[in-house]
Amino acid sequence: MAESDAQERTEEPTAKRLSDAREKGQIARSREMNTMLILLAGGVGMMMMGSYLVSGVADIMSGIFQITRTEIFDTNSPMNLFAKAIADSVGVLTPLFILLFIVALVAPMLLGGFSFSPQSIAFKWEKLDPIKGMGKLFAMRSLMELAKALGKFLLIGSVASGVLWFYFEDFLVIGNQDIKPALAQTMDILGWSFIFISASLIVIAAIDVPFQLWDHSRQLKMTKQEVKDEYKQTDGSPEVKSRARQLQREMAERRMMAEVPKADVVITNPTHYAIALRYDQARMDAPVVVAKGADLVAAKIREIANANDIAIVSSPVLARAIYFTTEINKMIPESLYLAVAQVLAYVFQLRGRRRKGHINDKPINMSDVPVPEDFRYDEEQE
């Protein structure tokens, strides 16, 4: 037996489990509630449309039994009368049928909402498995259905017997009345009988609805392993997510390295950190960090800077200050303007001297630039 089958289903169904079950047509439904509502609607409809139905039925019966001598000897007359009676009956009963049709559509939606699933009506060979069929005979749902059937038989039988006893004298009187009063009284008795019998089903529906909700939730419960497996399927395994984050970091690093050749200066620690700054006086309010990194990333930034003849300035205190306070593509803090301005001024001056042929390849060391105390990060903080 599989591990998931051996474990107890103790976990509440996840949103995905509920959604998948709904797509398969597996939702909570109560046939007892549907039957009760349809019967109640039929009884109320008969009471509300009683006079209309009685008048229509009386006219149909009058048309059938009041025929002329010519119609009696016409061989086509019976079929014509029958067809007319059917058409008139449909016309009289259509409002009641429409009411019942609407209730039959709406009633199932009250519990589980609207759901149409082709999968639920598809043919499945496993439904023909006799072993599974025998197992279902003793399942809790089958026992509940048996209990409901017995309960309905006893309850409806008792209510119907009470209704017959209550209207016993009225039944005897109907036979002595004219056709229209008799039909009117018969319709009244039928309407109230439907309402009483339907109302008795409220007891069955009140028991069945909570059971269906509980049973539906029980069937969808999951084992702890199923929850873990579903989490991996929806959110991805830790290995996949780790790989995705790694790829994102690599892409971001490649984009960052592509900006290093556009920098004006690279400030270093000199080995632990490297920060590439760019400043366009016409377009920028302050220098912007286009790349930064530590250790291997810092070494890569220095390598690209050397390859593209970007000035590299060793200023440990300033490098740490920018590294810990400024994100990539952000301007440096205002408190570091003066220190960075001195670095850039020296770099721009050096660049001008190189254009004139005065080349100085000595390492640039500017450890004495003014960095505020609250922007100083010790070696231990690295």
**Selection from 206, 86, 209 nearest residue 155 by Cα:** 206
Of 60, 50, 125, 47, residue with least CA distance to 91 = 60
Report CA dihedral (262, 264, 270, 274) to the nearest 10 degrees: -40
Mean pLDDT of the chain: 78
In percent, the amount of the chain with pLDDT more than 70 equals 81
Fold observed for domain 255-381: name from scop (3.40.1690)
Backbone φ, ψ for residue 141 (5° rounding): -65, -40
Structural domain spans, the chain: 12-233, 255-381
Largest CA distance in the chain: 135
**Per-residue pLDDT tens digits for 162-205:** 888 888 887 777 777 776 777 777 777 877 887 888 788 888 88
At 204-240, the pLDDT tens digits run 888 888 888 888 778 777 777 777 777 766 665 566 6
Report the range of poorest mean pLDDT among 50-59, 123-132, 139-148, 263-272.
123-132
* Beta-carbon count within 10 A of 256 CB: 20
Q: In what order do the strands lie in the sheet with 364-365?
A: 288-294, 273-278, 265-268, 311-314, 364-365
- Return the pLDDT at 277: 93
Pairing of strands 288-294, 265-268: unpaired
- Residue 291's DSSP bridge partners are 276
Q: Is pLDDT at 80 greater than 80 in this prediction?
A: no
Q: pLDDT at position 276, please?
A: 93
> Regarding predicted confidence, which is higher, 356 or 200?
200
Give the confidence band of 2 by pLDDT, cuts at 50, 70, 90: very low
> Backbone phi, then psi, for 248, in 5-degree steps?
-65, -40
Cα separations in angstroms, 83 against 31, 160, 277: 36, 35, 96
- What's the CA gap between 71 and 63, in Å, rounded? 12
